[in-house]
Amino acid sequence: MVRFVLTRIATAIPTLFLVSIAVFALMRMIPGDPAALMLGDLAQPGQLEALRHEMGLDRPIALQYLYWLGDVLSGDFGQSISTRQPVLPLMLERFSVSATIVVVAVFFATLIAVPAGMFAAWRQNRAGDIAVIATSTLLLSIPSFWLGLMLLLIFGLQLGWLPVVGYVPFSRDFGSALLFIILPVVTLVLVESGSITRMARASTIEVARLEYITHARAKGLPESTVMWRHAFKNAFAPTMTLIGLVLGSLLANIAVIEMVFTIPGLGRLLVDGIYARDYPIVQGCMLFTAFLYVLVNLLVDLLYPLLDPRVTA
Amino acid sequence: MIARALGIPAMRFNGLIGITVVGLLLLVAIFGPWLAPYDPLKLDLLARLKGPSAAHLLGADEFGRDMLSRLMYGARTSAWIAFATVLFAIVFGTFFGILAGFLRGWTDRLLMMVNDALLAFPGLLLALGFMAVFGASRNGIIIALGIAYMPVAVRVVRGTVLSIREREYVEASRVMGNSGIVTMLRHVLPNCLAPIMVLATTMFGWVVLSESALSFLGLGVPPPAPSWGNMLSTGRPYINQAPHIIILPGLCISITLLGVNLLGDAVRDWLDPKMQD
């Protein structure tokens, strides 16, 4: 078990390393000199050279990467070109906003989608199954940002039940914070339930064909015991991998939802950084999000043996 | 249930819907310029934000441009970008996948290292990074999304190649003295086609969605050229006054995705019976 955990962690390190190279290389492909961008049009002739030297841009590219990596590992992600704020605290603040919405949404999506998928598998090819499949295929086909706009139009503008745009931190006012995140969370729950339901259904059907399920039924156990005690654990393992992927990719995809509801999250920070050509922000957000994605997937892998002890062997 | 009433198996019925929707999309995409009642960029300020009427069947947008014409040109944009992106991802993905799977050794290790690094980025993130490099443009999206989705193709093709390279007919081709390239093209590539087709159909849907998301974020197709995503983005401030300019483009994206998803399931069941639930 310890060996499994250590091996799995060890394999994530080269991935993280490669991700950092990819982000660094990508940022260097952006046309224009970052130092010139920082100075703007009013730079004096000597100033550019001085800043290039200060930023290390006159060093060989491999050395620049190593210096940058060293800084990042010590928590220094540089500072924003437009606001001069340090990038890391800014990202962490925005991340707490995105993470709240994403985690709550994925939690509820799982709570709804896994039982729905198992129910569909149990009623395979009957009316209940067809209804679940049809709904999840439909949900899978609706873009989250459009669904968000539609919910905003109906519940925010037409009915006036919920606030339309903005965000209040939970630490300031719990009640109104809750009101503000209802629409974005509901949007994500609906959209993400589609794929999770389909996965839960497919893996339950796979497991239900196995002999130990037939055996459990033959013992005369009630269907609910067969499903929850015997089928669930094995069927949930592959679904959990998908949930990890959904959780990780939502941290990037949430940019569109944050755009719809004007939420100051990490995705917005990245997109605004791209508009403003604020490359330390873009670089920081990309690295941060990709690292989180790798870590979430690592965590899911580490949780796997709890459901299926065979993987540690 | 309708399917059962008509006596068609449900899967084939879904596939039929899928192919109809995708077929319609392609027809509109190809013949849009002849079918559209107006120039999609023509302003008619008197019709601004007006709902459906005889002159403008689906109403007009915030500049009085005809919605129907813009949606038709939007279909053209989406279909072209999705087609070009999938082609890009599949062609390069297949090339690198076969190379890695067939040559093995260092080529494989190096290619897979780069591939895994790209796969370590979630969904839109890599595409967003490339859009920062290329700037918002049509070709920018094709390359950005193409590179972002290529690693999936590399993985699928390499996996298939690894499973067939040890088969007897590949061995036989080598024993007969055929060169590596001939063996790859004549015997390995044709056997990769089924999984590639399944992936290409699924990928078409991903690209339609991602392109509309990028355009919605203002990092995709630049206005005034119509794309469903940028219509949602520029129309957003008028959502309460003229809901139709927001409802219609989203409906187009959803129907397209539904069609592609149904078609994808059908293609998968048809080409790969093992994967059937």
Is domain B11-31+59-271 annotated with CATH 1.10.3720.10?
yes
β-partners of residue B66 are: B60
- Cα separation, A140 vs A135, whole angstroms: 9
Instruction: Name every chain A residue with its beta carbon within 8 A of the beta carbon of B253.
Output: 143, 146
B66: three-class secondary structure by DSSP: strand
pLDDT, tens only, A19-69:
999 999 988 888 777 777 777 766 677 787 887 887 777 888 888 899 889
Q: Within the 229-258 window of chain A, which residues sit less than 8 Å (CB to CB) from chain B?
A: 245, 248-249, 251-253, 255-256
Give the angle subtended at the CA of A101 by the CAs of A8 and B238, to the nearest 5°.
135
Tell me which chain A residues have a C-beta less than 8 angstroms from the C-beta of B121: 19, 22, 252, 286, 290, 293
Q: For residue B118, give the amino acid letter.
A: L
* In contact, B136 and B218? CB cutoff 8 Å: yes
Any idea how long chain A is?
313
Residues in A 145-164 with any Cβ partner in B closer than 8 A:
145-147, 149-150, 152-153, 157
Q: Would the CB atoms of B122 and A253 count as touching at under 8 Å?
A: yes
| pLDDT per residue as tens digits for the range B143-167 | 999 999 999 999 999 988 888 877 8
Closest Cβ–Cβ partner in B121, B213, B277 for A293: B121
In chain A the domains, ranked by start, together with CATH numbers, are 1-74 (no CATH), 94-307 (1.10.3720.10)
**What does the DSSP 8-state code read for residue B39?**
-
ipTM score here?
Answer: 0.88
Handedness of CA B134, B137, B139, B144 (dihedral sign): positive
Q: Tell whether A2 is within 8 A of chain B (Cβ).
A: no
Q: Do A152 and B239 touch (CB under 8 A)?
A: yes
- Note the pTM of the prediction, 2 decimals: 0.88
Contact check, Cβ <8 Å, B253/A286: no
Residue-range domain boundaries for chain B: 11-31+59-271
Among A281, A205, A210, smallest CA distance to A238 is for A205
Q: Quote the strand ranges of chain B, DSSP E.
A: none
* Rounded Cα–Cα distance for residues A45 and A88 (Å): 31
Each of the 313 residues of chain A gets a pLDDT tens digit; together they read 788 888 888 888 888 888 999 999 988 888 777 777 777 766 677 787 887 887 777 888 888 899 889 998 998 888 888 888 999 999 999 999 999 999 999 999 999 999 999 888 888 888 888 999 899 999 989 999 999 999 999 998 888 888 877 788 888 888 888 888 899 999 999 999 998 999 889 888 888 888 888 888 888 888 888 878 778 877 888 888 888 888 888 888 899 999 999 999 999 999 999 988 888 899 999 999 999 988 888 888 888 877 777 766 5
